[in-house]
């Protein structure tokens, strides 16, 4: 098992702790005006105007099938270089250093989550490339 120490943004989705690589997050903001997004999978809340860019909002609680009511009020805008997407979450906990435990089981190559060890416990690290790949595939169907 290899270990990588990096910095992560830790946040809550439906009562569970998640994390993202800090480099993948561009901005954190309060819930903005959300406009309707036609024909998108139901886990998208809609689309927002983010600095004059139309950015879709993915409700992580719905997508990850966690407790989603009431819906989250915080938005994580992802790094423009990797995606045009914002994630709707319940609370942002902060920035932490962490260690990812790499899976050696190839069966997990599809999984969008990895386990992240942080100072006060564990969080589920969302692997951005895999998440985006899954979202792209589901947008096509």
Partner 1 sequence: MDMSQYKDLFISEAMEHVRSMNENIVSLEKNADDREKIDSLFRLAHSIKGMAASMGYDGIAQLAHSMEDLMERVRKKDISFSEGVADLLLEGADLLHVMLRDVEAGGQGNSDVRDLVARLAGFAEVRQSEKADESRGPATSICNEVQEMAEESAPSEKRYERRETRQTVRVKTEVLDHLVNVTGELITNKYRLAIIDRELGSVRLTEAVAELSKLLQELHSEVMKVRLMPFAAIADRFPRVVRDLAKQKGKDVNFVIEGTAVELDRGILEELSDPLIHLLRNAVDHGLEDATERRAAGKPVTGRIALVVHREQDQVVLTITDDGKGMDPAVLIESAIARKLIKAEDREMISPRQAFMLTCVPGFSTAKEITEISGRGVGMDVVRSSVLSLGGSLSIESELGKGSSMIIRLPLTVAIIQVLLVNCSSMTVGFPVMRIHRTMELDRSLIISCGRQKEFSLDGEAIPLLSLNRILGVPFERFAGKTIPVVVTEIRGKKVGLTVDRFCGQQEVFIKPLGSPLGKLRGQAGGATLGDGRAIIILDTAGL
The smaller minimum CB distance to partner 1, of residues 52 and 119, is found at: 52
Question: Stretches 63-71, 96-104, 114-122, 129-137: which one binds partner 1 (CB under 8 A)?
Answer: 129-137
Q: Site for partner 1 (CB under 8 A): which residue of 38, 70, 94, 121?
A: 38
CA 36 to each of CA 26, 46, 49: distance values in angstroms, whole numbers, following the listed order: 23, 5, 12
The smaller minimum CB distance to partner 1, of residues 44 and 118, is found at: 44
Does residue 112 touch partner 1 according to CB under 8 A? no
Does residue 30 touch partner 1 according to CB under 8 A? no
Which residues make Cβ contacts (< 8 Å) with residue 121, sequence separation at least 6? 17
Cβ contact 71:88 at 8 Å = yes
Nearest to 72 by CA among 130, 12, 122, 20: 12
Nearest to 27 by CA among 72, 74, 76: 76
List the x/- string, 50-69, binding to partner 1 by CB under 8 A.
--xxxxx-------------
Does residue 104 touch partner 1 according to CB under 8 A? no
Closest separation between CB of residue 119 and partner 1, Å? 30
Q: What are the φ and ψ backbone dihedral angles of 110, each rounded to 5 degrees?
A: -85, -20
Report the largest interatomic distance among the alpha carbons of the chain, rounded to a whole angstrom: 44
Residues that bind partner 1 (CB under 8 A): 33, 35-40, 44, 47-49, 52-56, 81-85, 106-107, 109-110, 129-130, 132-133, 135-136, 139-140
């Amino acid at each position: 098992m290899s270990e990588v120490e990096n910095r992560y943004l830790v946040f809550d989705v439906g009562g569970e702790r998640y994390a993202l690589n800090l480099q993948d997050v561009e901005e954190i903001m309060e819930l903005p005006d959300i406009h309707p997004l036609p024909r998108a999978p139901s886990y998208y809340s809609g689309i927002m105007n983010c600095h004059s860019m139309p950015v879709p909002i993915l409700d992580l609680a719905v997508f990850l099938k966690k407790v989603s009511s009431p819906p989250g009020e915080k938005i994580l805008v992802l790094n423009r270089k990797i995606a045009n997407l914002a994630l709707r979450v319940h609370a942002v906990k902060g920035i932490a250093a962490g260690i990812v435990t790499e899976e050696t089981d190839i069966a997990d190559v599809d999984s969008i989550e990895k386990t992240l060890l942080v100072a006060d416990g564990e969080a589920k690290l969302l692997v951005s490339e895999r998440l985006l790949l899954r979202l792209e595939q589901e947008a096509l169907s």
